[in-house]
Amino acid sequence: MGKKFSNQVLGHLTALLVVMIWGETFVSTKMLLNAGLMPADIFFYRFLLAYVLTWFVSYKRLFCRNITDELTTFVLGVLGGSLYFLTENMALVYSTASNVAILLSSCPLLTALLLSIFYKSERLSKKQIFGSLLAFLGMVMVVLNGQLILHLNPRGDALAIGAAVCWAFYSLLIKRVMHKYSSWFISRKVFFYGLLTILPYYALVSPLNTDVSILTRPVVYGNLLYLGSVASMFCYIMWNWTLSKLGAVKATNYLYLQSLFTMVFASLILHERITWMAIAGAAILILGMIRAERK
């Protein structure tokens, strides 16, 4: 009982840390975009570094125990890697950042819906549903940050919803392998298949940026090192471990806090303005999170 409780506490703390780091990645990504890299370039370099670093720890097993598990990790690499990042980044091209952030934050609700359909043990109580909706409302207020007008764009908004669906299915599908293999091994497979399935994009749509004059700039390689080693390798390993300890619903609810951390880091690093609406939204978000985490 004591070990289970300590794992639960550690799981909540780990989820909070991971989401805080992922909230900052929007700032690092923006700095890389301003430096001249494209979104697909950033994805490739961060996943390549994460894969290399993970290999040094998880190198004894090359493949899964059977073809079914191997295909599962392949799909995880697509859903949590190449397809997720492509749909998210393409959504930013066609729609506003606020629209994309709000639609992506529907992921916890989508995850809860999928899990309630496929797993009876993951069904939400009425209090948890209310808490999730309250957290979503607070997250919307944080993202809007005083701007009350949304500019709808069907193509961009559909891509953003597609990205949220990808991550929801990633959270659902990983349950099939997370108790069979270590988080290190699963994360390494996700990085590998994510890299493998992004290659057609470079061949058919846009070639990879290999401009040495850009890649050797301190702001570029510094942020890429951070995104690859911390935001990708460390966070994916810890997130996959957290899913096994808390369950997909409780863990994914922490994604509501991502926009809050992004707002804080954007204010500290990029000097973006924080309004009273965002502060009120943060309070509602945290209240909703507390409600959503309770049975």
DSSP 115-127: HHHH-GGGPPPHH
Short-list 128, 86, 87, CA closest to 111: 128
Can you give the pLDDT at residue 193?
Answer: 97
**pLDDT tens-digit series, residues 168-200:** 899 889 989 988 999 999 999 999 999 999 999
Short-list 294, 295, 285, CA closest to 133: 285
Extract the tokens encoding 16.
């909070």
Can you give the pLDDT at residue 24?
Answer: 82
Q: Which parts of the chain sit beneath pLDDT 70?
A: 1-5, 95-102, 120-125, 139, 142-152, 270, 272, 289, 292-295
Short-list 284, 285, 262, CA closest to 274: 262
Rg of the chain (C-alpha set): 19
In the chain, the amino acid numbered 116 is: S
Can you give the pLDDT at residue 26?
Answer: 76
Strand blocks (E) in 32-81:
none
DSSP 257: G
Pair 131, 290: CB distance under 8 Å: yes
276-292 and 126-144 helices cross at what angle (nearest 10)? Answer: 160
Dihedral in degrees, nearest 10, Cα atoms 17, 22, 24, 28? 140
Extract the tokens encoding 252.
């994914």
Can you give the pLDDT at residue 5?
Answer: 64
DSSP 230: I
Can you give the pLDDT at residue 146?
Answer: 58
Can you give the pLDDT at residue 147?
Answer: 61
Pair 156, 103: CB distance under 8 Å: no
DSSP 182: -
Pair 285, 135: CB distance under 8 Å: yes
Can you give the pLDDT at residue 177?
Answer: 94
Can you give the pLDDT at residue 60?
Answer: 82
Can you give the pLDDT at residue 17?
Answer: 94
Pair 172, 111: CB distance under 8 Å: yes
Extract the tokens encoding 118.
């496929």
Phi, psi dihedral angles at 150 (to 5 degrees): -105, 140
User: Could you give the 3-state DSSP secondary structure of residue 288?
Assistant: helix
Cα dist. 154→85, 94, 105, 160 in Å? 19, 9, 17, 10
Short-list 208, 222, 248, CA closest to 28: 222
